[in-house]
Amino acid sequence: MIQPIHVDTGRVGEWFSLNVSNGFVAFSVVPSIGGRVMDLALGEIQVFYSNPRLRGKALSDQATLGRNYGGSKVWPAPQGWTSEREWPGPPDPVLDCGPYGWRVEFDAGVAKVHLESPHDEYTGITMRREIIISSASSSVEVLHTMRNTSPRPVCWSIWQVTQVDACKGLEIFVPATGFHQTFGDKSYPNVSFNADGKRVCLKYKDQVAKLAMAADQGWFASLDRARGFVLAETFPITPGASYPDGAPVAFWISGHGTFTLHGDQVDMSAGDGCDPHVETEIMSPLTSLEPGEHCNFRTMWHLAAVDAQEIISVNRCGAVGASLAVHSGSPARLTGSFGTFRDAKLELVAHDRASQVVGTYDLGEVNPRRPVLLDRSIPLSPQAVRCSLMLFDRDHQQLGVLDRVNLR
């Protein structure tokens, strides 16, 4: 049953908020603190980190600067303190903590929250975010727009920063050609690179560090095995483009320890910056804009319940924890582990060598709040050479392929 989208206004403590839900996922937007997206949830599971010491508190302008509220925000990159071509924040009174304008739009099962920053004189830009949610889906789309609202040429990257709660542990899987550590005085031990599979695996550890990764497939997945969900983030990759830190994605691990900035050693243990979370950072290519020009950058969050030890692939239909396998026999046996981003009907469709359908098997209804675990027998045709796990809507329109396997 397709549930309606709800949008209302409310309060998070002293903050005015816009609250959006569709029966599978929910989030709140707080325009007054940099247009942050807060409290992304899958059912009752809160996915984003929220700083309990600052949550809902209205602070003076000066006290607000540099405060880490949590949630997701957008900044310009590169970050730095050596020239006017680098953004020296946070703290920042406009793009990070300034009040954003907002409006809400409904259109045929889709809700959009529009956010717009004030003009920032230092960077010369205005940031916009359009946050889009549809019914029957656990995907949230974020369309970023960076516009040059100054009389001079500028060159920046759009930098989405999202803080994911790691209180129960977190493992992040990134298809990539490599990685390097950019911050942290000690080498971060809980990261590995599989050169054959071209995949980086990062496990949360209470040790401050930042890692830049040469992601090459436009996705990564944050798996919380203890709470049974995956947050997959998708984004475009531009081969050959110039990115800040030489990589389109990076991860800041919140933890104890020190890092060095401007030649000074910063001790994270001395403040309140050690709550367990990971900042997932996605960047667009560095883009030169003449006055009045703009560029767009589209990212997505996808949430699903999953029962898996790892995430090996992500597509528009879901996340794959264990690939679809068809074990020979009479009857044949299907196995696999998935999380789906759609409320849909699941079918296995078998094809012969001529790509003709030789069998269709109803596997029931699936939705983002229930893991999809396959372990069942089917009377598979001996002519089958390929099987596809497909999602269909209530009118039996195909939504896409969750996974597929060649039998021979």
pLDDT mean over 36-52: 96
Q: Would you say residue 59 has pLDDT above 70?
A: no
| pLDDT recorded at residue 108 | 77
pLDDT confidence of residue 62: 46
pLDDT band at 408 (very low <50, low <70, confident <90, very high): confident
Sheet of strand 332-340: strand arrangement? 313-314, 318-327, 332-340, 372-378
How does residue 85 score in pLDDT terms, banded at 50, 70 and 90?
very high
CA dist 74 and 235 (Å) reads 14
Instruction: Record the pTM.
Output: 0.96
CATH architecture assigned to 6-305: Distorted Sandwich (2.70)
Pairwise pLDDT comparison (262 vs 350), residue with the higher score: 350
pLDDT at 122 over 60: yes
Domain map of the chain by residue range? Answer: 6-305, 313-406
361 vs 351: CA distance, rounded Å: 12
Render pLDDT for 232-249 as a digit per residue (tens, 0 to 9).
Answer: 999 999 999 999 989 999
The rounded distance, in Å, linking the Cα atoms of 24 and 134 is: 10
Residue type, 36: R
DSSP 3-state helix, strand, coil percentages of the chain (rounded to 5)? 5, 55, 40
Q: Which amino acid is at 47?
A: V
Q: Are residues 278 and 126 in contact, defined by beta-carbon separation less than 8 angstroms?
A: no
Length of the chain: 408
313-406: in CATH 2.60.40.3020: yes
pLDDT band at 95 (very low <50, low <70, confident <90, very high): very high
Q: Please answer whether residues 254 and 277 qualify as being in contact, where contact means their C-beta atoms are separated by less than 8 angstroms.
A: yes
pLDDT tens for 179-230 read 999 999 999 999 999 988 899 999 999 999 999 999 999 999 999 999 999 9
Whether 90 has a pLDDT exceeding 50, the answer reads yes
d(CA 24, CA 2) in angstroms, rounded, equals 10
Rounded CA gap, 112 and 130, in Å? 6
* Token pair listed for 83: 């020239």
Q: How many CB atoms lie within 10 A of CB 146?
A: 26
